[in-house]
Amino acid sequence: MKVVISGYGRMGHMVEAALEAKGIECAGASEDIAAFDKAIASESVCIDFTTPDAFRANYKALADNFKAVVIGTTGWNDIKDEVIGYFESKGTPMIYSSNYSVGVNVLSAAVGLVSKYLAQAGGYAPYIVEKHHIHKLDAPSGTAKSLAAVVEENMGVNPDTASVRVGELAGIHTVGFEGLNDRITLTHEAFSRKGFAEGAVLAAQMTEGLSGVHEFKELFFKESAK
């Protein structure tokens, strides 16, 4: 298995280290993935951690040229149907997620369970607070939007979301449910970006023999249930 990294910033370097730790070949890294060697691309999985603008400009090249693609970039939800449709039309396997941390995906499952029960009980108002480093471009974070979607699906309410950008925080997400008599909070705190990189590499391994477009959490919980 070969992997090419699209975007060679902080996350790109962490993905490279995660690949090395697992003994997976890194066939290259590029800030201009559309210009990457097409022969190498055709036999490689691309892991994309770039910017929303870069991904919007490059997603067709990713689908056109690579064996499979793992998307870690967020901030493109408004063109999600267009992106998924293009990958499907090209027959290029794609895995996407707002967050590849195993812990965050377990948090999402817990939020789903809690919000479902509280919707039945009634009387609780949901909210989300997300905190990230000052370099993060999108706000709210893609993870916060995904968590909000889980809550809205179960409770019929889009939770108020607050975003904080400070220091070098890797990411803290808190989902709260405020009642008249009590409060329930669920929090995930990333100590570094290492967990995101390791999850993305796990997703790249999942593309072996995969077809179609999938969200990482669906594949993760499917594997965990085996």
**What's the token pair of residue 27?**
């066939």
Interatomic CA distance for residues 169 and 148, integer angstroms: 21
Quickly list H helices, 142-188: 142-155
Is 194 a residue of the active site?
A: no
Q: Which residues of 2-24 are buried (b: 16+ CB within 10 A; e: fewer)?
A: bbbbbbbeebbebbbebbeeeeb
**Cα distances (Å, whole numbers) of residue 101 to 94, 143, 206:** 18, 10, 15
Which member of 2, 13, 116, 136 is catalytic? 136
Q: Identify whether 126 is preceded by a cis peptide bond (ω within 30 of 0).
A: no
State how far the Cα of 40 lies from the Cα of 132, in Å rounded to an integer.
35
Rounded Cα distance, 219 and 8, in Å: 26
Of the residues 132, 173, 188, 214, which is catalytic?
Answer: 132
Catalytic residue list contains 188: no
Q: 156: which DSSP letter?
A: S
- Helix axis angle, 52-65 to 80-90, nearest 10°: 20
Give the active site residues: 132, 136
